[in-house]
Amino acid sequence: MLINQGARLFVYPIPRDLGFAPNPFHGYCTLATCKPKLRKSAKVNDWIMGLAASNAKEKKYHCIFFMKVTEKLTFQEYWADPRFELKKPVRNGSKVQVLGDNIYHKDAEGKWIQEDSHHSNPDGTINEDNLKRDTGSTHDVLVSECFTYFGSEAMPLDLDALGYKPVRDYRKFSLDNQQYARNLIEKTVVKSDYWNMVVGDPIHFNLFDKRVDQSSGKYA
């Protein structure tokens, strides 16, 4: 079933659409970093919609991606699962490899390891602020095998019909009562060629090699 009874829609703005959070590559759309409250709250069968933030200029508040949560994993499960081996970052690899989001796991003593990644310091060492934000309140990773990622081809929306007003974190809607969102999902994901597809490159793909500090939002 595409939209399950009782399913919810989480809508949030994406200030940095690099292909890291969410990561739509290798056949799965994953949200493994950032948005800890959303990752903790969303359940299997809920839907996530990411909107381009104001820095996307003409794509402002367009839909960057839809994903249905088909699985929730812990960081440790995500790291150990061979399905997601290709989502581990390779900093000297291709753009897609550099932006791998499978970055958190624990050592034998239970201490967090943060792989050299978009969320690390420029020298590859642990960015403690990013580590705390990503892992402090939840260890959940959202996985989807039912998604459409538009990226730079972000789709325009009727925000009034959606009932969405801009916020920094996210808004949550019941899909039982949201006909506009239901129609968008059904038309976009099912009645098109966009099933599990990356339609366009990430909006900020040119910044693939940068690091970010979530506390300041600045690149390094």
What does the pLDDT look like over 72-81, one tens digit per residue? Answer: 999 999 999 9
Q: Which comes out higher in pLDDT, residue 69 or 188? A: 69
Per-domain boundaries in the chain: 8-219
Quote the tokens at residue 80: 């150990």
pLDDT at res. 128: 97
Whole-structure pTM value = 0.96
pLDDT at res. 54: 83
Specify the residue for token string 């970093």.
33
Q: What is the mean pLDDT of residues 190-219?
A: 89
Cα–Cα distance for residue pair 67/35, rounded to 1 Å: 15
From the number of C-beta atoms within 10 Å of its C-beta (0-12, 13-18, 19+), residue 64 rates as: buried
pLDDT at res. 191: 60
Q: pLDDT at residue 193 above 90?
A: no
**Which tens digits make up the pLDDT trace of 160-186?**
999 999 888 999 999 999 999 999 898
- Confidence class for position 195, pLDDT limits 50, 70, 90: confident
Q: pLDDT at residue 190 above 80?
A: no
pLDDT at res. 167: 87
Q: Phi first, then psi: what are they for 131, rounded to 5°?
A: -60, -50
- Confidence class for position 56, pLDDT limits 50, 70, 90: confident
Cα–Cα distance for residue pair 78/93, rounded to 1 Å: 21
pLDDT at res. 159: 93
pLDDT at res. 1: 87
Q: pLDDT at residue 192 above 90?
A: no
Listed in sequence order, the DSSP H helices in the chain are 36-41, 75-80, 95-98, 128-135, 159-162, 179-185
Q: pLDDT at residue 189 above 90?
A: no
Specify the residue for token string 């009645």.
191
**Which tens digits make up the pLDDT trace of 95-154?**
999 999 999 999 999 999 999 999 999 999 999 999 999 999 999 999 999 999 999 999
